[in-house]
Amino acid sequence: MEGLRTVLDPEIGRSIVDLKMVRDIAIDDGRVNVKIALTVAHCPLAKTLQTDVENAVRKIEGVRSVKVETTTMTRKELEELKAMMHAGASPAAFQKSSSAVGPGIERLGKRGVRNIIAVMSGKGGVGKSFVTSMLASELRRRGYEVGVLDADLTGPSIAKVFGVTGKPYKGPSGGIMPIKTKTGIKVMSINLILEDPNMPVVWRGPIVNSVIRQLYWDVDWGDLHYLLVDLPPGTSDAPLTVFQSLPLDGVIIVSSPQDLASMIVTKAVNMAKKMNGPILGLVENMSYLDCPHCGKRIGLFGQPRGKNLAQGLGLPFLGAIPLDPIIAQMSDEGRIEDYSSPIITTIADELRIRATKQVEQLPHNLPIAWSVEPTP
């Protein structure tokens, strides 16, 4: 049972032991039989789970062979699981049962959030916050429930680009209610909480770590199709916390053509790979400028090379976004939701295809509201 504690349900992102999915364990002279109860019959990810269980048991000393059988949870068991997930358990209670991913660090659970996607870059100012807010707006336009977690504590810009100013408050569930933008995107940022948003955040690593965990776990995100996490640049404490503490489903890498010989992007990519963050693809921002007078395409920061870079790193290329003065203007005015362009639509589509494969495969009787279709 201890050996199985590290196995996470691929959908829910929590240990199968905590989710009470482990039914029988029979051990006979090194031959182990394990029975796992799936949340739904013919769960598309059953094979993944079976392999994970097999691998975990094989690691145990003395094990000679492993057989994994599956069964399905009863309606009553599903109801109990659903109640447990929605009650969410207090962070303290949860931490006891979450999976360990490093010394003293526990990965938090999923609750009602379907896809958690972090947006990262090697260096600053390449447009992570812009890409995060644009994708959030585009996905929202398609009717999805979307949230944005601003994990950039020292340079928070998400509240600003969406033009939200309200103070988050404690909701009926006891969780902090995120602030909604005008199109209904749920936003949480340290700047919404600070008494004076102009005061700098000067915190050491352990505090940054715990605040980011709170911005995710203590917030009542409700049921979301997508939670986009805007990271600060580079590979410092905050991205590390996000990789270690949040049950990420994917990472988007943003680069710009002036990134130093792609070395800095490669660092970010390698961090994501090392931390087991599945990379959904690379977006090149500020790729080029179309001259408003003569229409000539100008490579302000050198020739666009996102596609080659992505190929070289073995990543899908999601698209190249040009420099557009309207973007800076709309970000400054807090009207990013009003901006749209064909390239952004394409990138959002790419993201949707890559990130929601599992949503589309999910049967509709899932115990949690993940299979809900977007409402227009």
**Whole-angstrom distance, CA of residue 89 vs CA of residue 109:** 10
Beta bridge partners of 22: 36
CB 288 within 8 A of CB 322: yes
Which residue bears the tokens 């600060």? 232
**Whole-angstrom distance, CA of residue 97 vs CA of residue 95:** 5
Contacts with ligand ATP in 278-317 (CB under 6 A)? 285-286
Kindly tell me which residue out of 99, 115, 137, 157 binds ligand ATP, with binding defined by CB under 6 A.
157
Q: Which is nearer to Mg ion, 145 or 284 (CB)?
A: 284
CA-wise closest residue to 181 among 215, 204, 210, 150 = 150
Token representation of residue 316 = 């899908």
Beta bridge partners of 31: 28, 65
Kindly tell me which residue out of 129, 133, 137, 245 binds Mg ion, with binding defined by CB under 5 A.
129
Q: Which does 194 bind (CB under 5 to 8 A by kind): ligand ATP, Mg ion, none?
A: none
CB 148 within 8 A of CB 133: yes
Kindly tell me which residue out of 10, 44, 91, 155 binds ligand ATP, with binding defined by CB under 6 A.
155
Residue 305's alpha-carbon distances to 255, 266, 276, 321, in angstroms, are: 10, 14, 26, 12
- Minimum distance of Mg ion from residue 285's CB (angstroms): 11
Q: Which is nearer to ligand ATP, 131 or 310 (CB)?
A: 131
Kindly tell me which residue out of 3, 122, 233, 281 binds ligand ATP, with binding defined by CB under 6 A.
233
- Minimum distance of ligand ATP from residue 306's CB (angstroms): 13
Q: Which does 125 bind (CB under 5 to 8 A by kind): ligand ATP, Mg ion, none?
A: ligand ATP
Which residue bears the tokens 């000539």? 296
Kindly tell me which residue out of 57, 66, 116, 126 binds ligand ATP, with binding defined by CB under 6 A.
126
Q: Which is nearer to ligand ATP, 40 or 231 (CB)?
A: 231
Contacts with Mg ion in 149-188 (CB under 5 A)? 157
SS3 at position 219:
strand
Using the contact rule CB under 6 A, the part of the chain among 165-173, 210-218, 275-283, 326-334 near ligand ATP is 326-334
Kindly tell me which residue out of 77, 218, 324, 349 binds ligand ATP, with binding defined by CB under 6 A.
324
State the amino acid at position 122 in one-letter form: G
- Minimum distance of ligand ATP from residue 97's CB (angstroms): 34
State the amino acid at position 19 in one-letter form: L
Cα angle 311, 314, 316; round to 5: 70
Contacts with ligand ATP in 171-210 (CB under 6 A)? none
CB 22 within 8 A of CB 56: no
Per DSSP, the chain holds a count of helices (H) and strands (E) of 13, 17
161-182 burial code (b ≥16 CB/10 A, e <16): bbbbeeebeeeeeebbbbbebe
Using the contact rule CB under 6 A, the part of the chain among 24-32, 120-128, 298-306, 363-371 near ligand ATP is 120-128
CB 38 within 8 A of CB 71: yes
Q: Which is nearer to ligand ATP, 136 or 321 (CB)?
A: 321
Count of residues near ligand ATP by CB under 6 A? 21
Kindly tell me which residue out of 7, 43, 130, 310 binds ligand ATP, with binding defined by CB under 6 A.
130
User: Which residues contact ligand ATP by CB under 6 A?
Assistant: 121, 124-130, 152, 155, 157, 232-233, 285-286, 321, 323-324, 327-328, 331
User: Which residues contact Mg ion by CB under 5 A?
Assistant: 128-129, 157
